[in-house]
Amino acid sequence: MVESSSSSTWSQVLVKLRFFTKIRRFVRKTSASKGCDDERTTQVIADHHKSVDVDVQNDDDESLILQRSVKRIHFGTKDEKAAAAREIKRLARDDLIRRKLMAELGVIPPLVAMVGSDYIISHRRVAVQALVELANGTCTNKALMVEAGILSKLYKTIDVDESAKHEFAQLIMSLSSLVNAQFPIDSSKILPPVLHMLESNPSVDTKMLCLGTLYNLSTVIDNVGSLAKDEVVHTLLKLSSMKEASEKALATLGNLVPWKVAQWCPNV
């Protein structure tokens, strides 16, 4: 029964990949053929066709790599999943359409699972890197990550070196921007890893990412109650003394003031 289910899932993946490849080839060839009636551009179009053929071949190659990576991220060994995550990171970096396609092919849940698993840290880290790329420019992909439980998994694996913390902070800040799309974000799950990273005295760049996360959350009234805690306020006051962070820290504190005033002076 399990083999039948896996076979069915992979058949759906193959159908989507083939469809994607055909659409990309059609769009490129259609674009290349525009203006062929203009005699002055005939030679230019002919030359362009040659480069398009190369591009189409490259697309086919990339589709084969994507096909292999999707299969491995779903069904591979730990090492195969890590290799697939590296390919997914690379393929997602410069192509929004491909990022959305990979989400449709279901790569996000297994990547999220890798982050909170017993995989070695290098494997978990490459999964985070892949998720950072997949989150770029698409609220849908970010929402899928939240729904897959990424917020509860990050806290388990952030006690790593500084460069890895920076990547984790990138992902958390990216996810926190969902509040601008009215997507419900549980700030109680974001605060622990953010405060933990800030308390570990990270680099300025990582601090700024964590601060950006706190600011994003503070712009939504439903999150203010969980943010307006002494620990968060003290952290923001410390950050406000930093030249690079003062403006954003004070703006975040400003978003918390009305709630604190209401708490201290309920009759005002």
The pLDDT value given to residue 148? 94
Instruction: Kindly report the pTM of this predicted structure.
Output: 0.75
**Same domain, residue pair 167 and 149:** no
**Same domain, residue pair 99 and 190:** no
**Same domain, residue pair 196 and 136:** no
Residue with tokens 């902070």: 169
The pLDDT value given to residue 156? 65
**Same domain, residue pair 84 and 165:** no
Q: Could you report the per-residue pLDDT of 119-146, keeping only the tens digit for each? A: 888 898 999 999 999 999 999 999 999 9
Task: Give me the sign of the Cα torsion angle 62, 84, 108, 6.
Answer: positive
Q: Which amino acid is at 115?
A: V
Domain that holds residue 215: 160-178+186-268
**Same domain, residue pair 119 and 104:** yes
Q: Could you report the per-residue pLDDT of 72-101, keeping only the tens digit for each? A: 999 999 999 999 999 999 999 988 999 999
Say how far apart CA 158 and CA 10 lie, in whole Å.
33
Segment holding 25, helix H or strand E: helix 2-33
Query: What CATH number should be reported for the domain holding residue 225?
Result: 1.25.10.10
239's CB contacts (< 8 A; 6+ apart) are 198, 207, 211, 245, 246, 248, 249
DSSP letter (8 states) at residue 40: G
Report the domain count for the chain. Answer: 2
**Same domain, residue pair 138 and 126:** yes
**Same domain, residue pair 253 and 172:** yes
